[in-house]
């Protein structure tokens, strides 16, 4: 199944006999959650899921957005109506990062049919509704292991033996600036591949052939394995999504730079080259 769905396709599916569960994952880094914006206007039937509290564990040694406890995550998505035998569509405001985080978590925990709305709410021209949704409870029980996952040691090894992509902005990769984490730079051996290079100016994912060309130029075709990290495992999930659309399986280092950089014993490379 394609990992993305267009607004036109979603409108058709919502009008069909078995509409998908739709989850609204609007989110902003460092700010309050966007539940109020959701309640003002959202795709009909969509249920709000909070990234910081339901799609991540509390920040700590595992980074700024550690993976959530499967029981906490399971309770949240069941309350949103998610069942294993019903398609799920996730969307955010348009950037795609938060929606991709939900997509990755659902796929990682075993849901067989999850798609991201390409372009998010910004691409939706259909009707909207206000107020909270009240879905029937779902039955989905998370079973982790459905997507490849890296820890810090695995990411370091893959940077040496395969291809580890850094999805953050190039200036953070180089270490020119670091607005959030303890120190700037990148995991030694990682290759800079900003997530912004995977989308058009309007926020839609590039066509699959263009994504495949981009990742091939970065070394994905010849690599023994491909992995991705970012700042805290959110935008990196969007790069894993883009790789999936391109037909390239990739692992996510969920702790990402926010976990890596907390340990002063871990090496840090700076500058434009992987080193």
Domain spanning 149-260: which CATH class is it, in words?
alpha beta
Q: How large is the average pLDDT for residues 244-250?
A: 97
Question: How far lies 260's CA from each of 161, 170, 181, 256, in Å?
Answer: 19, 17, 10, 6
More confident residue, 222 or 46: 46
Active site residue 43: no
Percentage with pLDDT > 70 across the chain: 100
Strands 163-166 and 149-150: unpaired
Rounded to the nearest integer, the mean pLDDT of the chain is 96
Rounded Cα gap, residues 115 and 96, in angstroms: 11
Check whether domain 4-123 has CATH 3.40.250.10, yes or no: yes
For 141-192, strand residue ranges (E) read 149-150, 163-166, 191-192
Domain boundaries, the chain: 4-123, 149-260
Q: Do the domains spanning 4-123 and 149-260 agree at the CATH topology level?
A: yes
Catalytic residue among 230, 237, 252, 254: 230
CB atoms within 10 A of CB 179: 11
For residue range 200-235, what is the model confidence (pLDDT) as tens digits? Answer: 999 999 999 999 999 999 999 999 999 999 999 999
CB atoms within 10 A of CB 274: 18
For residue range 79-117, what is the model confidence (pLDDT) as tens digits? Answer: 999 999 999 999 999 989 999 999 999 999 999 999 999
């Amino acid at each position: 199944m394609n990992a993305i769905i267009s607004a036109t396709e979603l409108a058709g599916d919502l009008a069909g006999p078995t509409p998908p569960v739709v989850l609204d994952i609007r989110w902003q880094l460092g700010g309050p959650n966007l539940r109020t914006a959701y309640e003002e206007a959202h795709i009909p039937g969509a249920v709000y899921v909070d990234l910081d509290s339901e799609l991540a564990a509390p920040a700590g040694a595992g980074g700024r957005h550690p993976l959530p406890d499967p029981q906490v995550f399971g309770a949240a998505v069941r309350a949103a109506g998610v069942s294993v035998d019903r398609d799920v569509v996730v969307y955010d405001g348009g950037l795609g990062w938060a929606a991709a985080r939900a997509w990755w978590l659902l796929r990682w925990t075993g849901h067989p049919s999850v798609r991201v709305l390409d372009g998010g709410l910004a691409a939706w021209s259909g009707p909207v509704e206000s107020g909270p949704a009240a879905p029937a409870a779902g039955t989905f029980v998370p079973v982790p292991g459905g997507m490849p996952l890296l820890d810090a040691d695995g990411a370091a090894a893959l940077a040496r033996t395969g291809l580890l992509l850094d999805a953050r902005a190039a200036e953070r990769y180089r270490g020119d600036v670091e607005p959030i984490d303890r120190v700037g730079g990148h995991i030694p051996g990682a290759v800079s591949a900003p997530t912004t290079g995977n989308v058009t100016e309007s926020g839609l994912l590039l066509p699959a052939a263009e994504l495949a060309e981009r990742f091939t130029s970065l070394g994905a075709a010849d690599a023994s394995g491909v992995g991705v990290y970012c700042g805290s495992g959110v935008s990196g999930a969007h790069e894993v999504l883009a790789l999936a659309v391109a037909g390239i399986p990739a692992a996510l280092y969920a702790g990402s730079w926010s976990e890596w950089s907390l340990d002063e014993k871990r090496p840090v490379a700076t500058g434009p080259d992987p080193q």
